[in-house]
Amino acid sequence: MNSRQYIFYGDDADLIWIHKSKLKSLSKALKQLYDDFCVIKKDMYGCPQNFNQLTVAWYLNDSKRPNVGVNKNYNFYALRDIRSGEELTVDYATYSDEP
């Protein structure tokens, strides 16, 4: 894959944004789902329309030396040439706060 090439073509569904106060009544396990898979910005959680719609893009591992970047629209792109079979990683801190 060439650098600056977008990956996960067609995986561009809009996020829905939920205030963290709406999660208070959820079970611990469901809250963990939001912490693990949502983009977090201050008191808001950016989530897929439905957690059943999680795609490979939601499963990238965190790295301080990533091979994938993300733009302001949360579209992922290659930071450098990526070898076939190489793990895809992204620096979570570049687009999401800690839970």
Would you state the pLDDT for residue 40? 97
Would you state the pLDDT for residue 68? 96
pTM of the model: 0.84
Averaged over successive runs of 10 residues, the pLDDT of the chain (99 residues) comes to: 80 92 96 95 94 91 96 92 95 94
Would you state the pLDDT for residue 44? 98
Would you state the pLDDT for residue 90? 97
Query: What domains sit in the chain, N to C, each tagged with a CATH number?
Result: 16-94 (2.170.270.10)
Would you state the pLDDT for residue 53? 87
In 1-99, where do the E strands start and end? 16-19, 39-41, 44-47, 61-62, 68-70, 76-78, 89-90
Separation CA 20–CA 59 (nearest Å): 22
